[in-house]
Amino acid sequence: MKSLHILLCCFLFSALMNGQEKFLTKQGFTSFFSSSPVEDIKADNNQVLSIIDTSTGAIAISILMKSFMFEKSLMQEHFNENYVESDKYPKAIFKGQIANFKNLGNDEQLVSIHGDITIHGVTKKIETQAKIVRTEENISLTGTFPITVADFKIKIPSVVINNIAETVAVTFELDHTPYKK
Sites of contact with another protein (CB under 8 A): 2-3, 6-7, 10-11, 14-15, 17-18, 22, 24, 26, 44, 46-47, 49-51, 53, 56, 58-62, 64, 66, 69-74, 76-78, 80-82, 85, 87-88, 93, 95-96, 155, 157, 159-160, 163, 179
Residue 31 identity (one-letter amino acid): S
SS3 assignment, position 49: strand
Least distance in Å: CB of 24 to another protein? Answer: 7
Least distance in Å: CB of 101 to another protein? Answer: 12
CA distance 53 to 51: 7
CB-nearer residue toward another protein: 18 or 146: 18
What secondary structure does DSSP assign to 73-134, as a single string?
A: HHHHHHIIIIIS-TTT--EEEEEEEETTGGG--SS-EEEEEEEEEEETTEEEEEEEEEEEEE
Least distance in Å: CB of 146 to another protein? Answer: 24
CB-nearer residue toward another protein: 71 or 108: 71
The number of helix segments (H) and strand segments (E) in the chain equals 2, 9
Least distance in Å: CB of 53 to another protein? Answer: 5
CB-nearer residue toward another protein: 107 or 181: 181
CA distance 74 to 56: 42
